[in-house]
Structure 1
Amino acid sequence: MSARRMIHIVDDEEAIRRSAGFMLKTSGYAVSTYASGDAFLQAAKEAEPGCVLLDVRMPGMDGLEVQQVMAERGIAMPVVVLTGHGDITVAVRAMKGGAVDFIEKPFEKAVLLTAITAAFERLDDVQARATRAADAAVAIAALTSREQDVLRGMAQGLPNKTIAFDLGISPRTVEVHRANLMAKLQVKSLSEALRLAFAAGLQDEA
């Protein structure tokens, strides 16, 4: 990731792209601009991860449609919605669609920067969770299949006796597997083991 964080401005008004771009560049951000939702979506897969300032009212594909397509394509960049209209219905739809904030034009610099800060906090959280999930999956992959079965049962909140019954082994054997998997995962408590299991999504597996 570059030292300067990226802002993608998607707005059909050149004046907005220029003024917001200048404001953000002087605030230390890198900026990329797009004159339409289609242009942004074409570039989004290859674009540097960042915050998207997304205008609602655009010719062709509007901002809410762009937001929906981003979700469908798994483009997990946080969105701050911009509008020149005091349309509360649009605001509600945008926020339900996952927008970080909703700002009316003309916007104040402080309001915009606050929303962008919140957007990057969300982006960092998503990336941190993805890293934790990957690390947890690697650690759990090192367990034997039986140890993974026991951990899966633990993640589902099952007592040792139930895990033993489901796996056709004795409760004592479950205890041995638990001790072994905790040693391999380098955790000292049940809660630490469960955090790893949850990060890897083990509780959702059948």
Structure 2
Amino acid sequence: MSEKALVHIIEDDAFLSKALSRLLGAAGYRTLVYGTANDFLTQLATLESGCILLDMNLPGINGMELHAQLRMQANRMPLIYLTGEGSIALSVQAIKNGAEDFLTKPVQKDALLNAIAHAFDQFQIDDLQHHRQQELKRRLGSLTVREKEVFDLLILGLLNKQIAYQLGNAERTVKAHRHSVMEKMCANSLAELVLMATELGLLDKTS
């Protein structure tokens, strides 16, 4: 993340949001404050990515409803709930929905800062994985129809001659396709190609 990461505070209690903003500012974060979920949503398209600190009980669209809308939009910003009426059932549901943490008011300074730091750390990991997935999908999409057929059989462990028999090609043709597949996928070995297929979830589909 940037040197001064951004935290979006969505909280209808103006006194608390100011206190949170001061606390986070002292800890090296930048903050933006929103009094309602709608205030946040109307600006979302132009907002810088950051961690969302979300009050559960908001006027109008509540925290859970806002979270659901963000998930529908495939928004990947890490989210931490902050609520004055927490329960085990709510916390479990929040985490199942993808929240990084579920904190209750009044929140301890260390607990809040640790949760935010962890959320940013996890976002970095998730972001790398996301970009890796996108790159692998791009490489896979660059294969021709025949190369994709060879790819699908290679990751199942078939030999060149077995692939040639199954596709009705000459073995030398399969070798040429195999070379092209390895080159386009940037794979240095069959084991690496299988690992890529696993990351893309393709082995589950072909097994």
Paired residues, number: 205
TM-score (norm 2): 0.84
Partner of 1:192 in structure 2? 192
TM-score (norm 1): 0.84
Partner of 1:30 in structure 2? 30
- Per-residue deviation, 1:176: 4.0
Partner of 2:77 in structure 1? 77
Q: Is the 8 A contact 1:9 1:54 kept in 2?
A: yes
Note closer, same or farther for the CA distance 1:166–1:72 as it changes in structure 2 (3 Å cut): farther
Worse-superposed segment, 169-178 or 18-27: 169-178
Note closer, same or farther for the CA distance 1:89–1:137 as it changes in structure 2 (3 Å cut): closer
Partner of 2:146 in structure 1? 146
Unmatched segments (≥5 aa) in structure 2 = none
CA distance in 2: counterparts of 1:162 and 1:136, whole angstroms:
26
- Per-residue deviation, 1:79: 0.8
Write the deviation string for residues 160-198 of structure 1: whole angstroms up to 9, x where unpaired.
477545533356643442233224444321222234445
**Identity percentage over the alignment?**
34
CA distance in 1: counterparts of 2:165 and 2:50, whole angstroms:
49
Partner of 1:109 in structure 2? 109
CA distance in 2: counterparts of 1:121 and 1:163, whole angstroms:
44
Unmatched segments (≥5 aa) in structure 1 = none
1:118 and 2:93 matched: no
Matched to 1:29, the amino acid is Y
CA distance in 2: counterparts of 1:163 and 1:80, whole angstroms:
50
Matched to 2:50, the amino acid is G
CA distance in 2: counterparts of 1:43 and 1:129, whole angstroms:
27
- Per-residue deviation, 1:6: 1.0
Q: Is the 8 A contact 1:44 1:75 kept in 2?
A: no
Partner of 2:167 in structure 1? 167
Q: Is the 8 A contact 1:50 1:123 kept in 2?
A: no
- Per-residue deviation, 1:203: 5.5
